[in-house]
Amino acid sequence: MDYEELEESEPRFRELAETVPGALWVHDIEDYQVLYVSPGYERIWGRPRELIYANPRDWIEAIHPDDRGQVEAAFDRVLESHGELEFDAQYRIVRPDGQIRWVHDRGAPVGDRSGKPCRMVGLAEDITDKKRAELARTQAQEKERESERRSQAQKLESLSVLAGGVAHDFNNLLMGVLGNADIALARLPLDSPVRGRLQEIERAAKRAAELCRQMLAYSGKGRFVVEYIDLREVVEEMARLMEARSGNRARIEFDFAEDLPSIEGDSTQIRQVVMNLITNASEAIGEQGGVITAACGVMECGRAYLDGTFSDDDLPEGHYVYLEVSDTGCGMDAETIEKTFDPFFSTKFAGRGLGLAAVQGIVRGHEGAIHVESEPGEGTSFRLLFPPHDSPAAPVEEGEHRETTWRVEGTALLVDDDDTARAVGASLLSAVGLRVLEASSGMGALAHFRERVAEIDVVILDLTMPHMDGVETFRELRRIEQDVPVILTSGYNEQDSINRLAGEGLAGFLKKPYDSAQLSRLVRRVMSAGAQPSASRSR
């Protein structure tokens, strides 16, 4: 129907216009005049129709300031198209009483008898109730998602506490297994028929210790040796090693940014992350072959991006150093991505334990986050974010040789509430020539120290003890004698405590379970580094 026909049916048109729930309007395309607006305008806008006849911009001026520019530009484009475009917009209006309403406004061109567009006829509907319902649904969905996130975080926290506690206790038990095997091997003749059995026990204990490290990584308490790390060096070193192991199935390519800031962390843990991610990528590629890309760089992360990552904390917006491992493998759907970091979840026939859950724990322990992108058949990308640091990265150190003949004279005070760990530690210290005083508590250690301070050359102190823990005991020992070197030991990491004590003169840290080589190496370094012999130390 053209406009002339519309005019000929004016009585019916006006009857329809004045009863329709919305605001029916007619606008001249050429001279920008409002030719007609129905009484619905007054009901929705709360303004007399005479205003819009006198000033065609009246409806524009009533639009909410945040929406006005966009709506006006859209309407102008429609008019300038001379009937080529239709108008369709949702926007807010502000009534004279201050009430804000939502409007869905649509218009289409109407032609004259020749078919040339000359008018726009439209209908504006009040959709405030619909918008409020949508907002309520959105808020309810967001509240449900937030509840799920909190529930997931609480579940992970509970599992983390459990994993950390189990790993701590298990490490103390492994002290007995590994330490006693080490002592027995040192005393056995090289041709003893049981030597092979003891070596198998030692290897099994070390594998169990590795499992404990994964549990600690999952719990976020796995950072034992913290330094400033050049992420490129670590990634390239581990990636080339993994490429050699994986054969020709997957080709590894590198994409490293220049002038990459260092990150603060445990290089052993970061190596484990790279190993797990590349192993996962290689398995996703499978036998058909493909490409794994290891990239490092710096990116600006806004709130929306960080909210879409796997992280426990509300990380601050800003710059992050990223490590990205992507592959051209089988990819994952959204449901699989959500389960990727669940402990013992696997898409393989045989599960791989804590693999990616340990990766998440390590990243969480380094105050970072993980962003995952994947599509079935399109490959997967894991992007890990770490806070940057300006300090220079520590050089990669050569592995130290095992010391077997070093001996020393002196006295060590060994403090540990676990009987097995204390007994093994005493045997290992005795094996290098030290006399050993034992204490099973912080109070017991202080009593020994006060009584025999002139004899004691080094203290090996467990961090986690009831009643008086290692931190309190350390500070009391230093009040009695400022110069005595103290080595802290623990079955799991308490990095904050270690950092604080390092600033107060902590001589070193030894992670359980340790063997004679690790213990003797650290004791030798500490006792050779400047502590005066007990006989000459001033009292």
The residues near 137 (Cβ < 8 Å, ≥ 6 apart) are none
Among 170-179, 275-284, 434-443, name the one with the lowest average pLDDT.
170-179
Among 14-23, 101-110, 195-204, 492-501, name the one with the lowest average pLDDT.
492-501
Q: Write out the two tokens for 530.
A: 């400047």
Q: Which residue has the higher pLDDT, 391 or 182?
A: 182
- Per-residue pLDDT at 191: 83
- Per-residue pLDDT at 345: 58
**Which residue, among 75, 91, 74, has the nearest Cα to 131 in the 3D structure?**
91
Question: In 3-state terms, what secondary structure has residue 117?
Answer: strand
CATH numbers and ranges of domains, the chain: 3-126 (3.30.450.20), 150-219 (1.10.287.130), 226-389 (3.30.565.10), 410-528 (3.40.50.2300)
- Judge whether residue 539 has pLDDT over 50: no
SS3 content of the chain, % helix, strand, coil (to 5): 45, 20, 30
- Judge whether residue 336 has pLDDT over 60: yes
Would the CA dihedral through 304, 309, 310, 314 be positive or negative?
A: negative
Q: Kindly tell me the burial class for residue 137, based on how many C-beta atoms sit within 10 Å of its own C-beta (0-12, 13-18, 19 or more).
A: exposed
Q: Write out the two tokens for 504.
A: 């107060």
- Judge whether residue 64 has pLDDT over 90: yes
Q: Write out the two tokens for 405.
A: 């003949």
Backbone angles phi, psi at 160, to 5 degrees: -65, -45
Would the CA dihedral through 465, 468, 471, 474 be positive or negative?
A: negative
Cα Rg of the chain (Å, integer): 36
- pLDDT tier, 357 (very low <50, low <70, confident <90, very high otherwise): confident
Instruction: Report the alpha-carbon distance of residue 491 to residue 281 in Å, rounded.
Output: 32
pLDDT in tens, 174-219: 888 888 888 888 888 888 888 888 888 888 887 777 767 666 666 6
- Per-residue pLDDT at 164: 67
The residues near 521 (Cβ < 8 Å, ≥ 6 apart) are 400, 403
Q: How many residues does the chain have?
A: 539
- Judge whether residue 536 has pLDDT over 70: no
Question: In 3-state terms, what secondary structure has residue 298?
Answer: strand
Consecutive H or E run containing 412: strand 410-415
- Max mean pLDDT range (72-76, 116-120, 492-496): 72-76
Among 74-83, 150-159, 301-310, name the one with the lowest average pLDDT.
150-159
